[in-house]
Amino acid sequence: MEYSTESFFREAVLQICSSLDINKALERCLKYLQEFIPVDSMDLSVYLPDVRMLQFVAVAGEKRNQHRPNAISVPAIDWEAPENHREGLPYMHFVNNPDRDPNFTDILQQLDIDPDFSVIIMRLSLDGSYIGEVAVIAHGKNRYTEQHGRLFALLRDPLGIALANALKHWEVVRLNELLEDDSRYFQQELRARSGGEIVGADFGLSGVMHQVQQVAPLDNPVLLLGETGTGKGIIADSIHNLSHRSQGPMITVNCGSIPGSLLESELFGHEKGAFTGAERQRRGRFERAQGGTVFLDEIGELTLQSQVKLLNVLQNKEIERVGGSELISLDIRIIVATNRDLADMVKKGEFREDLWYRLNVFPVLVPPLRQRKEDIPALVHHFLQRKTAELKLMFRPKLPDGALEKLMARDWPGNVRELENFIERAMILSSGKELNIDPLLENEDRAQYVGKSEIPGQEQPFPDLDTVTARHIRKALALAGGKISGAGGAAELLGIHPNTLRQRMDKLGIEYKRGSGKRG
């Protein structure tokens, strides 16, 4: 075909620049090149200096749908050797007989392909730095001449720029995806954690808040201890907000609500193909918390294998994604919480002793509500105000005379969470502007009585649905020895998911008890 180098260059560059999708651009360039030189396939690769490999960026032609590795080791080609050198083309390597080329032996093994082909490899550079390679491949041996190479060499600079632009475009797309991912995640976190103010900071929690102010400016781990429902999550928020990391993310992980098989992937992230269903790389909670704080609630639920990895995070401040080998450095602060007796778990071999010592540097005990009843009036008014907005009520219900005294007389085994649920139920059931708590208190007392003793033949008052549900759950827990999940657990007996059972227990104010009060 007759042509001038100027028209060839112009038309080829138009094809290369025809799309931001480098695969489409390379495919169009290939079709144009086929009018001038023998070529059935074409590939573009970027050089990875840290591992000395070439990673394929785009493939066009017949090789496009073939199974092949994502990257190959760079052959040790002596570009200046007489058999490889072409006058004026020191960046180009002709291979017309691959199985006789010692530089190509390793490539043939890595690609596992028939050596009946010819190839021209052209090194690409930008601003004097080697960035990758482009290759044209044709079926059969001895297909390429020096004239083919000189024509192909005209496209060296445009292809180098196209490769660099493709990498920049991919980086922008990747960063946008990360920003969108983080935005969705943090919006969920904000919705989940809205309204978390500390009521009682000047009264029953004053000692806790003094400890918070002491430890917040530091970066050492904090261990929050206390019964379920005491507000350990809000205390963790306060530590983060008072620290120098307050402008960074606050990531919460409930270790008891994530199945053990998924927990490591959730915490550490995973690489594409690490397990069935891992269709793309995913960052874990630790990576998302860079520059901020990770709050690990129910730390006593971690498996021993996960405890080992957490210990490594605390000691070395680095992680590996599931299925990966790259070490990722972390800049995070870790806060953990539990309602279990970790020291007793250490004695029983259920919790690592070295991890326990790492976490127990600064323990903060959040007292149960029965030990700070002076906070109940403020909590009740706080819940009335917040629930009025959440339930979209026109008026905030008033408390009848003597209501606070009755509420303060109770022990509230479910602590602040139980009190909050009680107030919400009372607001839903109260038809007028005044909050009627007496029927609910009677139901609670009746439920406790029935739960302790059911006398055969004695007529019992008709219980409400919450009372029956709570009683049924307590029976299942008793049969399961306090165990919630797993074989023989209460969730299995009830035929529901363990997380659903925990949510219902939290709403009904049922304590988690296993053995001597440990979480099941």
Half-sphere exposure of 50 (CA within 13 A, CB side): 1
Q: Is the pLDDT of residue 242 over 70?
A: yes
Tell me the C-alpha distance between 45 and 30, whole Å.
Answer: 15
Q: pLDDT tens, 128-156?
A: 788 888 999 999 999 998 889 889 999 99
pLDDT score, position 195: 45
Amino acid in position 475: K
pTM for this structure?
Answer: 0.54
The dihedral sign for the CA sequence 192, 194, 195, 198: positive
When pLDDT is cut at 50, 70 and 90, the band that residue 322 belongs to is confident
Q: Report the largest interatomic distance among the alpha carbons of the chain, rounded to a whole angstrom.
A: 108
Q: Which residue has the higher pLDDT, 335 or 22?
A: 335
Is 54 strand, coil or helix?
strand
For 5-169, CATH gives 3.30.450.40
Q: pLDDT tens, 96-132?
A: 888 887 767 777 777 777 788 899 989 888 887 888 8
Q: What percent of the chain is modeled with pLDDT above 70? A: 83
- Asked, colleague to colleague, whether 5-169 and 198-365 share their fold, the answer is no
pLDDT score, position 226: 93
Phi-psi region of 328 (alpha: psi -120 to 50; beta: other; left: phi over 0): beta
User: Domain extents for the chain?
Assistant: 5-169, 198-365
pLDDT score, position 217: 93
* Cβ-based burial of 413 (10 A; exposed 0-12, middle 13-18, buried ≥19): middle
Average pLDDT over the chain, rounded to an integer: 82
Q: pLDDT tens, 446-481?
A: 655 444 444 444 445 667 788 888 888 888 887 777
Q: Is the pLDDT of residue 351 over 90?
A: yes
**Contact by Cβ (8 Å): 205, 372:** yes
CB environment 430-450: b (16+ within 10 A), e (fewer): beeeebebeebbebbebbeeb
- Using alpha carbons, select from 255, 234, 334 the residue that is nearest to residue 298: 255
**Contact by Cβ (8 Å): 125, 90:** no
Is 337 strand, coil or helix?
strand
The encoded tokens of residue 140 equal 């059969």
When pLDDT is cut at 50, 70 and 90, the band that residue 21 belongs to is confident
Q: Is the pLDDT of residue 183 over 70?
A: no
The CA-based dihedral angle spanning residues 436, 442, 448, 454, taken in that order and rounded to the nearest 10 degrees: -150
**Contact by Cβ (8 Å): 353, 206:** no
**Contact by Cβ (8 Å): 216, 239:** yes
**Contact by Cβ (8 Å): 89, 150:** yes
Residue range 198-365 forms a domain whose CATH class is alpha beta
When pLDDT is cut at 50, 70 and 90, the band that residue 517 belongs to is very low
Q: Is the pLDDT of residue 490 over 70?
A: yes
Is 434 strand, coil or helix?
strand
Q: pLDDT tens, 391-434?
A: 887 778 888 888 899 899 888 988 999 999 999 988 888 765 78
pLDDT score, position 70: 74
Is 122 strand, coil or helix?
strand
Q: How far is CA 189 from CA 37, 56, 102, 170, in A?
A: 58, 38, 58, 28
Residue length, the chain? 520
Sorted by sequence, the CB contacts under 8 Å of residue 344 that are 6+ apart come out as 516, 518
Region 363-373: mean pLDDT is 92
Q: pLDDT tens, 64-94?
A: 556 666 777 766 555 455 555 556 677 888 8
Region 165-174: mean pLDDT is 73
